[in-house]
Structure formats: structure tokens, C-alpha cells
Amino acid sequence: MEPTAYLESLRPAGSKRSSKRDLIVNVFLRQEGHLTADDLFDLIRREDQRISRATVYRTLQWMVDAGIARKVDFDEGRFRFEHSYRHPRHFHLICKTCNRSFEFLSSDIEALIEEVAAARNFTARQSVLQIHGTCEPCRTGRPAAAEQGATDALFARDALRIAIATERSGLDFYTRAARLTRDARGRRVFEKLAGEEKEHLATLERRYRELLLPDPQLESQPTFLFFKGAANGLFSAGAEQLAAGVNDRQALMIGIRCERGSHKFFKRYGEKFEDSEGKRIFLEFADEERAHLDLLIREYRGLVERQRRRAGRQAPARKRRREAAAL
């Protein structure tokens, strides 16, 4: 979505359009990093000398209230502003020596914030996490490496890293499940999924190499997306459950839980980004996990039915409904 279209989507129904406000918002959305109100005023004056400082300040507050901008305090004695366009909720490292700030995004921190808010029945409007300390160049005296910030390529790099880690974890899970499953049909399903994971892993690794070709320095840029406890963690936990000893139905149910969690994770985070390669990677992976989930659910139901037929009995309707709802 282009900035102008983004602005239109946020404009309250029936609100009066302002050409001055539109100019200020569009100039603001074109910037990266964290601007003070004076920084933005200087940029606006290059475009239109007639716009006053007060108008810029009012528009900044309007953008904060509308969710277009976030207000951040780096303990400098003044606020800075960053835009939400193509930027999901993220957090900051702040060097107290050079006053530089470094952004990062973490699903683990977000999950903890949401867990705490839900436990207290608290409706959160905004969360801010800032880690103050000393950056490596200031601590060691070595020159700071050139940083590109959270570019589309950086998003894509980290999204691919997360997808690759999840694929490797899924491959390990399904390989183990195929070895442990006694039911022939269930084993074939696990073998099929292991084969797909292996194929998709090769595709993702190739895309990762291709992404790095135009800019070899991209590999060494600091991590922006931290997802240590994300979808790959689900499959790792599932593999541990398999190793502890489970029957065929339990193995399928563990796979269902892993795929459902993985699908929800990639879909949720993919939808937070505006159109970009990183967004496409997340949503493609969400679709793949959804297909795997549907296959496992069908196989689970088929296994339950086969086991019942072999036992020569029919489960009560209430129990069948309960099992179906659990899926």
C-alpha cells in the first residue's frame, strides 16, 4: 500500500481533508528512523514555506492519536517520532554514550506482554521496551559498521532464516514420527510430509542465497527479527514428546498441534507487515502449514475410524463430537 492510500485508509469517515496535513503525513511516512518535531518541521519547510511549526506539531499529535506515528522517549529531554507504516511493534536498544538507537522485533517479548496484560484483564494501547546501555563501538573503540536499518532485504533475510529454522525442525519431527509410527497409512503421511519439508527447505535455502547475491554485506547485518521461541520451537518440543514414547494417534495429534501453532504464528506476523518480500515469505509459509494441518487432521480421523472398525465397535456420538471439536 502506498503512503497516500495508507493515509486514506486511516482517515475517519466524514472527516475533512486537509492538504497541509496530507503533505505533512506523506513527508513523515517517507522518512526512516526517529524524527523530532523540529526535524519534521525542517523537512516540511523545504516543501512548503507556508506551513507553520504549530501545524506540524498538531499534525504529529494527530498521527499519534490515529496510530500512524509512535512517540518514543530516548531520554534526551525531547520526544522523537517513528511511523507505523510497514513497521509492526518493535523495541529499542539505546546507547547512552553516542545516543544511537537500534530497533529489533521479538515475538517472545510480544507474547509475554500479551500474557501479562491478559492475566490482569488489562487492555493495552501501547507498549514500549527500551534497553539502555553501551553499544559495541563505544565500548571497544572500534568504528561502527555501516548499518542499513530495517530495510525490505533485512526483513526478508530474517524471515527466511526463521522459515529455514522451522523447516529443519519440521523435517526432524516428521522423520522421527515416520520411524516410530506402526500404522502403515500414518507412516506414509509422515514420510510424505518429511519429503515435502526437505524439498521446501532446499527451496528456502536457495532463496536465501539468491537474496544475498546483490549485497554480500546483508549476511553480517545485525538481526532485526528475533523469534527464538517461534514455530521451530513448537516442532522441537513435539520431537521431544515423540522421543518420550507415544502411540500412533498421539503422534498425529502432536503433529496437528505443531502445524496449527506454526500456521497461526506465520499468518499472524505476516499480516503485520505491508507488502514486502518478508511478508510474502511469512504468508507463503502460513499457507504451507495450513495444508499440512489439513492433511494431518484427515489422517487422524481416518486412523480413529480404522481402529474402531478393527475393534468392532462404534464410539458414542457425544465422544465423536468431542474428538472432532478437539481438532
pLDDT of residue 1: 47
The answer to whether residue 220 scores a pLDDT higher than 60 is yes
pLDDT of residue 236: 86
Average of per-residue pLDDT values in the chain: 83
Q: Determine the Cα angle at 34 with ends 33 and 40, to 5°.
A: 110
pLDDT of residue 141: 84
More confident residue, 212 or 86: 212
DSSP string, 1-54: --HHHHHHHHSPTTPPP-HHHHHHHHHHHH--S-B-HHHHHHHHHHH-TT--HH
pLDDT of residue 150: 53
pLDDT of residue 170: 92
List the domains of the chain with CATH numbers.
18-84 (1.10.10.10), 86-144 (3.30.1490.190), 152-326 (1.20.1260.10)
- Strands 101-106 and 225-226, by their bridges, are parallel
pLDDT of residue 225: 84
Counting residues of the chain whose pLDDT is more than 70, the rounded percentage is 84
Backbone angles phi, psi at 13, to 5 degrees: -60, 130
pLDDT tens string 171-198: 999 999 999 888 888 888 899 999 999 9
Q: How many CB atoms lie within 10 A of CB 60?
A: 23
Angle at which helix 19-30 crosses helix 37-47, to 10 degrees, equals 110
Counting residues of the chain whose pLDDT is more than 90, the rounded percentage is 29
Which among 83, 89, 90 has a CA at the least distance from the CA of 6? 83
The answer to whether residue 325 scores a pLDDT higher than 60 is no
pLDDT of residue 258: 92
pLDDT of residue 130: 85
Find the mean pLDDT for residues 53-80.
Answer: 84
pLDDT of residue 147: 55
DSSP letter, residue 216: G
- Give 82's strand partners: 70
Would you place residue 207 in the very low, low, confident or very high pLDDT band (cuts 50, 70, 90)? very high
Task: Give the helix, strand, coil percentages of the chain, each rounded to 5.
Answer: 65, 10, 30
The CA distance from 132 to 95, in Å, is 6
pLDDT of residue 269: 83
pLDDT tens string 89-115: 678 888 888 888 888 888 888 888 888
pLDDT of residue 264: 92
Backbone angles phi, psi at 158, to 5 degrees: -70, -35
Find the mean pLDDT for residues 67-72.
Answer: 80
pLDDT tens string 233-292: 788 888 888 888 888 889 999 999 999 999 998 998 888 777 778 888 999 999 999 999
Written as nine digits, the cell of 303 is: 486412523
Residue type, 287: D
pLDDT of residue 290: 95
The CA distance from 144 to 62, in Å, is 36
pLDDT tens string 119-159: 999 987 767 788 889 998 899 888 766 555 457 788 889 98
